[in-house]
Structures are given as C-alpha cells and as structure tokens.
Structure 1
Amino acid sequence: MNTIHLLLLTLIISFAPVAASAEENKGSSQAPNIIIIMTDDQGYADVGKFGAKGFSTPHLDRMADEGLRFTNWYVPQAVCGASRAGLLTGCYPNRINMLGAPGPSSRGGIADGEVLISEMLKDRGYSTALFGKWHLGHLRKFLPLQHGFDEYYGLPFSNDMWPYHPGVRHLSMEKRLKRWPHLPMIEGNEIINKEVSPEDQVGLTTSYTEKAVDFIARNRTKPFFLYVAHSMPHVPLFVSEKFKGKSEQGLYGDVIMEIDWSVGQILSALKRFDLADNTLVLFTSDNGPWLSYGNHAGSAHPLREGKGTTWEGGQRVPCIVRWPRRIPAGQACHTPAMHIDLFPTIQNIVGGKEPPHQIDGRDITALLTNPGEAKSP
C-alpha cells in the first residue's frame, strides 16, 4: 500500500466516529424538538424561582437560569380539560366547545375538525407522544392516537375521578361505582388496566418519566414532539417511596420534588444524546392550586384565589422555557402571554401549516428570543 492510500485510510478511520455521532445527533441541522411538560393544579408559587417554600425545585430552577421565566403566563380557563384544549389547539375553549373537566360519564371530546399541535407537527415529519393525562375525551374517537399522537400512555381524565373520590367514600362500593367508575389506564387505544389502584397511582410520575426518557432515546435522530402531562399534584396526592417525606411541606411538597426530579431526568436525557441545544422545553401548569384541599394544595402567593376562579391565582401559572440555541439564559419576561399562544408560536418555529379555521393565540417567538425588547403581539 503506497503512502497516499495509507493516509486516506487513516483519515477515513479517524473521521468514522465523528460521522456516526453526527448522524445520531443531528441537532445542528434538523428542526427543533419540542417538549411541553404540564402539571396538574400546580400553583404560581410552587416553583423555587417563583417563591416556593418548604420544598426545593433545583432542576426547574436550573431550567430557569438557562432559559426564560414568564411572570405573567395565563391559562385560557382555570380548569383541567378546557385549559389543555386551549394549549393544544391555540383556541379559547369556548370557541371549540371544550369547557370544564369532562368525566367518565361524558360522551363528548375534542372535535375531529380541530387541529392540535401534535397534528401540525406530525404533518411536518415529527414523531409525537403523550405520556400522562389527556382529558379531551375518553371515547376511542377522541383519544390521542386519533389526534396526531403516535404514542400514548396515561389516564384519560383526572386521577380523582374514581370510586375513592372523597365525595363518595362514605357509600358502599356498589353505590360509588354508579357515580365514579373505576379509573382506567390506557396505552395507545387500549385499556391496559381497568382498575387503577392507589398503589398504581404511587408510580404515575415515575412511569410517565421513564416512558418520556425512552421516547427521547428512540427518536434522537429525528425531530420529535413530547407532551408530558403529569397527573400530579392534582388530588389525591401520591408520591413514590424515593420522595416520601423529603420536603418540609408534607405530601404536597414531596410530590412537587418528584415532579422536579422528572424534569431533571428529561433534561439529562437531552444532554446525554446531545439534543439540548436544539430542543425547546416548556414547563407550566394547567391552572392554579385547588385551595379547598388545604395542605394538599399548592400556593398562588401573592395572587388571589386559585383553580376554578377568574382571579389571578386561578389563571396565572408558572412558566419556564428553555432553548439554548435561541433563548437567552437567565431572563424574565413580564409581558403577558398564555397557553393558546403556543400553537402559533410552534407553527412559526417549525414552518407548520395554518389551521383551516380561526385560532385565538398569537405568535410570541419574539418574546422568547428577545424578551427584553419585544412587544406583546
């Protein structure tokens, strides 16, 4: 073998690992990944950077230090199902007839004609998944796989919609089941557990997190949309053994610390697969705290009231956005924005199609990338 051939062979061998790594982590060339993490009934002051007391949220605090914190982020309606409908469609819930929090007796759900973020991104070639609470209709035709999600694992509605609800605990099980049937766990389109138990709920946050990390690993070479919709800290509160008794705020604080751990696991996975710079991660809550549950509820301090009200404590929630490539670190945006703005913003970022009907949200890309100078759209 002559000297030139030997040199060429050496160069090929030397650059092979680099080429393989570039193929596996296309962060610099492909469309950005999108991750939305939503909690259930977490109050405005239930994150360290927003004034939490009695428990710590180091991963969320780090996410804020590395990204942008919205201090005036609003929900479209201060209740579970309606808020989620607004986030995923960019519409006020009233416009799309998704009001309140549909339960197991409801026959309605998100209409076929509505375009969800998942559908818009799937049309752009994204892999899509939801792990957690859906709450846009539990009948098969309303489930996530019929609305742009490739994968789904979670509860179809709130974790208190079961025969152990405090409002029926004094009744016999036979009478309870007439009001609140057993809570199902769904994977894809199929019920995999017909009777979710308290023991099952203990592992919800962990199972959602493990599936989210696995999804990231399996889709690291192509753009993906991951929606992690935690069932907690909606009552009844459950936490895994590894976080039980960890906070100074009782069970509620333990639950928030486990959710913070979950955020850390997702951020670590992005770093491990060299995806962090090219992934927009947004953390928020569906509405304010359910104050009637006392120390099993969070705090909206210094705001008035909580979930189910039109006061600030019900409508304003914590929101943190991290996207190292585009969002400056350690910033705070005081300009009002809300859940329904996510659809048009993500649409602009990825070059997605406009829905064939009117939506109500506004593109807030400028607020994300230039929070100090951009004006409200």
Structure 2
Amino acid sequence: MSSTPTDLHAAVRAALTKVVDPELRKPITEVGMVKSVDIGADDHKGSVHVEIYLTTSACPKKSEIIERVKQAVVDVPGTGTVTVGLDVMNDEQRAELRKLLRGDSREPVIPFAQPGSLTRVYAVASGKGGVGKSSVTVNLAAAMAARGLSVGVLDADIYGHSVPRMMGTAERPTQVDSMILPPIAHDVKVISIAMFTQGNVPVVWRGPMLHRALQQFLADVYWGDLDVLLLDLPPGTGDIAISVSQLIPGAEILVVTTPQLAAAEVAERAGAIALQTRQRIVGVVENMSGLTLPDGSTLNLFGEGGGKVVADSLSKSVGADVPLLGQVPIDPALVDAGDTGVPLVLSAPESAAGKALNEIAASLASRKRGLVGMALNLDTVARQG
C-alpha cells in the first residue's frame, strides 16, 4: 500500500526532528529552522522540497546543513527527488531564537555563575609562560570531548592567544541577534579574541577592557549545556585571573608547571591566588617531565620533582589535598600537533604524552561536583600572636 502525500509529509517532518544544527547542536525543528515541507503530486509524486531558514546569510555551515537535511529525507520510505532551499531569518526570528536559547533576560547572564549550574569550570593557570599551559588545555578539552562530554574552551590569554591554531580552526563566530555562536573544532566549542582580530594584530588593552572582554565571552557566547568549560589563562596572577574569580566564583584552578624547581616556585604563586579568591585548586599537572631516549632511559632536561613540590606546597597552603594529577613527558609530536591543529590525544593517543594527557582528562571528567562553587572559608589575614 503506497503512502499518501499526507503520510509522506508527516514522515519527512519526523525525519527532520533528527537533523541537528552543527552550530546550535539542537534539532532544526526545535529552533525554528524549518520553513516549509512540500510534497510533489501526480507527475512529481514522491518528490520532496524542504525550505530551511539559516540564522544568517553568511552561515558557515550552510553546506553541512543542506547535506544533513537531504540525507535524513532521502532515508524516508517513499521519497523520490529531494531538494533543499535556503532562506534567512529576519531580525524578529533571530530575536526569538536568542530568547529560546538564552531566555528573555535584558542583560546577558553568565550561566556558569548561576547557583544551579552543573558545568565544571577549570581555569588553567601557570606562573610563567612557556610551560605548555595552552597545549595541556586543548588536549584535555579534546580528550574529554572524545569521552562524550560537552566541552568548551575559552582562550582567556588575550595577549598570547594560541588556542584556535592548536584546535585547528580559523572560523569566525556567527552572531545571532546579540548572541555569539562559537566555532566547533574536534567537538569542542572554542572562543578566542583571535577570532575577532585581523591577522596577527596584537591586542593592546588595559585591565577594564580585559575584564569586559572576558565577561562578554562568558555571557554573550551561546555555550549550550556544557559539562566542562576550560579557560586558558594568561601566565601569572594579573587582571584576568582576578576577573575569573569575580565572574565565576565556582571556577577551580588547574596549575601547570614544569619539573624545574625555579619554575615550580613561580607556579606556586599562581596557585596560591586561590587563598585570596577562595577558589578550589583541582590539582597540578607537570608538563615536560622528561624525554625518553632511544635506549629507554629518561633525560630530565628540565630537572625533576617540580610538580610534586607545587602540589605539596599548595596542599599545605590551602589546608586541603592538592594532587599531582599527572606528569606529561616531552614529546616533539606534541609540538607538531599544536601546529597542525589536531591535539595529540587524538592524533597519537598511544604515545607516552598522549596517554598521560588522556589519563588526566579521565580523572577530571569523572569528578563529582564536590566543593565546586563553595567558599574555602580560609582566613588570609595573618593572626597576631
């Protein structure tokens, strides 16, 4: 018994509910992107034409959306020729979409600062530059996304931004009404000031502008329902680190250091900012922990023991256990992975560095909420004897 045009129309509509927009990560039927579905009659029996609304005319994912719609409709029994047309949402439709996704609040709010937020926010910090903080950040993000978590990375290193290249994306964010849709690379949502500048132009801003930029990235970007958000902080304990503690009090600090004791002393200061901001330190990662030689021995180019020293020192300072989460060996492939835009945990997961990073990501991914969002209640004022 052949299906009627009405039956086919209903079946096509049902199939479209399974088509997910690549930027919004929601079914196109839920976000008002299906304009119409037309079924051919008589001499064009079984032909289907679907009209789709794009959020903007410059939508970078239009080809992918067309392909996803075609594939979903072709698989419906009884369909013949399938065509897809495109239209663009008007200002009113974009405003409705923004309200649907972000609510009707006049002022954008930071979802991760709300009491009910279940997103684990890790602020990746280091005392000094050159310790591989960004490499650790992008690899942890990619590894957790590969485990099925919804992950975002905010490149908060405004002056020394490097995350887009390391994640292999040169895409620009899409703006819908007052909402920004971040590019997605390796299933990770990514935002960086690099996406808003031309070429390699340096960012010359002072404190208040840095704070405002971070606030916009947290509030105006549509992150969706994230399991984990990683912030790649600039080195040291400057404006951005302070702003993070003010904007997302529940963010936890992840300290990256090298085995060198001199670097470890500097890293301690980056972690000890938690004493002033009352944030929790989730742990320490020792990067560049040693180079494996062809004969199987290890050459400690940057000394050894720095990560353990930092973890022990911070444990004493905050009065709580600060674990050494892992030691990542030196691996030239880690550098190549950063340049090619495919994180090592994806390109060479069985390498020593890839395994170490995957193990750290697994430990962070499996953590419960614990003390996230709760003050440490530490008295940072020295008591008089």
Give the TM-score of the pair, scaled to structure 1: 0.35
Q: Which has the larger radius of gyration?
A: 2
Give the TM-score of the pair, scaled to structure 2: 0.35
